[in-house]
Structures are given as C-alpha cells and as structure tokens.
Structure 1
Amino acid sequence: MNTTALIRPAWTPATIALMVIGFMVFWPLGLAMLAYIIWGDRLEGFKRDVNRATDGVFAGCRRASHRTHARRTGNVAFDEWREKELERLAEERRKLDEMLGEFDDYARELRRAKDQEEFDRFMANRNKPAAPTTNNNNGKSNPGLLDEE
C-alpha cells in the first residue's frame, strides 16, 4: 500500500503558504506548520518508537492481568492446553515483533541507500564539465550579424 501525503514535510510552495496562513490566523498553527516542515520526516519513526515502547509497558500489564484473572474451568486438561496455547501465541507475537523491527531496519537502510544513490548522481552530474557546444558558423565570430564582404 503506497500512501503519499498531500502535504509532505519540505519547503514547497504549499507548505510555505499554509505556514504563512497559519501565522496569520492563529500563530500556534503557523508554528506547528513550521515544525512539520522541519521535523515532519521524523514523525513516522517517532510514532513507531513510541508505539513500541508503550506496547512493551502495557504488555507486562496485560500478562499480569491475564494470569490473575485467568478463569479456571475446572477441567485440568483444558486449562493446561489453554495455557500452552497462550504461551505459544505470546511467542509468535514476540517473533512477529522482532520481524517487524528487522523489516523497519531493512526499509530504513533501503531509503538511506536510495538517498545516497540520488545524492551521488547529483554530485556526478554537478561535477561534469559542461559539454562544449559545436561551432557551426564556419569560423564567424558573431553568427547573428551579417558579414559584409
């Protein structure tokens, strides 16, 4: 799923206009737009890190809650099976969380490599000497003027 933001965090005419309008309407809106332009590209990583941290904090609470409030059915075989399945699911969840972290690292590295490639291409194009233009005026010094011979 490829989602593109309507307003990306960069110095574009749209973001500058929104920032100016924000300052004119209510200065904190302009300040928020300025912050988005400057630091908006870091929001996704920040959100992911905060979600991961809060998931870790609340996962411990959930585990403690499930253990203390785990209802026993009275059927020992079923209760044991249920505990094993819950442990298996928790292990699968940990594996999926690890895979998500690995994929995030991989995607971040791909973006960095793409950025590096674009930068290298820019620098190579920038450092190329300008190609000499061919002179098709048969040795005339100013082709725009008529020769008076």
Structure 2
Amino acid sequence: MSAITTWPAQAESWLDRQGKPAWIIAMVLGLIVFWPLGLALLAYMIWSNRMTVRSLPSRFQRQNATRSTGNAAFDAYKADTLRRLEEEQEQFEAFLQCLRDARDKAEFDQFIDERRKPAQAQTTA
C-alpha cells in the first residue's frame, strides 16, 4: 500500500494516541477550514464511540495492572491476585449465562405449554 492510501489509518492512530483533546481540536479545525470535513469528523467520533468516558478507565487500569513496582514479591502477588480475579470473573460470567439459559428455557417451555393448551382443548371437544 502506498502512503496515500494509509494516511487515514495513520492519522486515526496518531489522534488516538494523543487522546480526546486531539480529536476535538481536529474536529474544530475541520469546521473552520471546511465545515463538511468538521461535520464528518464529528459524525465519525460519535459513530466510533471515541468520546465515551467508560473506555478510558479500563485502558488506564490495564496499564497500571501490568506495570512493575520494582518489588518482585509484590509483583508476583499482584499477578497471582489478578489471575485469580480474572478466573473468578470468568466463572461468574459462566454462572450468569447458565442462569440466563435456564430462564430462557423456562420461558420457552411456558410458551410451548400455552400454545398446546388450545390445541389440546380442541381435540378433546
């Protein structure tokens, strides 16, 4: 690929590295220079969820979780605790999925039973 075809992806990754203020500045400059460009940037930022707040804390937590403190014993303890918590989260999510599946099956069985009642009443009458 040539540099001409990859510049949008390069610009997007550069703006992502700079953070929200860079996206906002690019949008404002786009509005000033050529207003359809600014509107297109605004639409893209909304469509791609670039302006959501909830994506920032998880990124920072992951960075802090993998950073070494310099104390090997504490880093090993932290890694073990994070691994254990991730396993517990996976088990809990699996448990919730089982509950959802059981609820869905019960609702489906109830639907089928209610559908069969009128058919059974007609065959006995």
TM bucket (normalised to shorter chain) is: 0.3 to 0.5
* Greater radius of gyration (CA): 1
